[in-house]
Amino acid sequence: MGAEKIFLIGMMGAGKSYWTKKISKWIKSAGYDLDDLIEMNEEKTIAEIFNEEGEIHFRKVETKILKWFKEKKKYVLATGGGTACFAENMDFMKKEGIVIWLDESAEVLVKRLSEGKAHRPLIAHLSDAELNSFIEQKLVERYPFYKQATYRLQSDQINEISIKKLIQKHVS
């Protein structure tokens, strides 16, 4: 298994989009953000999709677009926070490439997310205290899915040195 196909999973605010841009430069491949692709495909924002058509519809579209990546040879994909928890998405990602869980602490996530809540439909209406409870609850709910990742990087390991080392193990 080469590092031709890399999936980043984890909670919203964990840095998946940020690290996708970095990693795609290092391995000279395309970097994609699943949420951006969903918005382009649906011609609506994630918030609009959630509000108008609900989470079930969103998850179906998300899975369909994730499966498009079966045809691609080399890429880095930032998935949505819940992607790994629906359909057989985790099995698909593990079969296709390596899955890296960016396991950031609840404290850091709350700090990062409290500023940009408005464009995130699951947390837009939460106070900071509610956001903290929400994040902690989601971390517990999603743990059984996230822990299936090929690699788990915790807060202090989410840095350039650790990520480069991990990817070099797989680059041919």
Closest CA to 10 of 97, 87, 78: 78
* Contact indicator for 75, 37 with CB cutoff of 8 Å: no
The residue-averaged pLDDT of 127-147 equals: 94
Please say if the pLDDT value at position 172 is more than 80.
no
Cα-based angle 143, 10, 163 (whole degrees, multiple of 5):
120
Q: What is the pLDDT of residue 9?
A: 98
Q: What is the pLDDT of residue 3?
A: 58
Please say if the pLDDT value at position 59 is more than 50.
yes
* Contact indicator for 13, 132 with CB cutoff of 8 Å: no
Please say if the pLDDT value at position 13 is more than 50.
yes
Q: What is the pLDDT of residue 121?
A: 75
Please say if the pLDDT value at position 79 is more than 80.
yes
First to last CA, the chain: 9
15-57 confidence digits (pLDDT tens): 999 999 999 999 999 999 999 999 999 999 988 998 899 989 9
The residue-averaged pLDDT of 141-155 equals: 96
pTM, rounded to two decimals: 0.93
116 band by pLDDT with thresholds 50, 70 and 90: confident
Closest CA to 157 of 6, 1, 15: 15
1 band by pLDDT with thresholds 50, 70 and 90: very low
Q: What is the pLDDT of residue 115?
A: 84
Question: Which domains can be identified in the chain, with CATH numbers?
Answer: 5-164 (3.40.50.300)
Which helix H or strand E contains 120, and what residues bound it? none
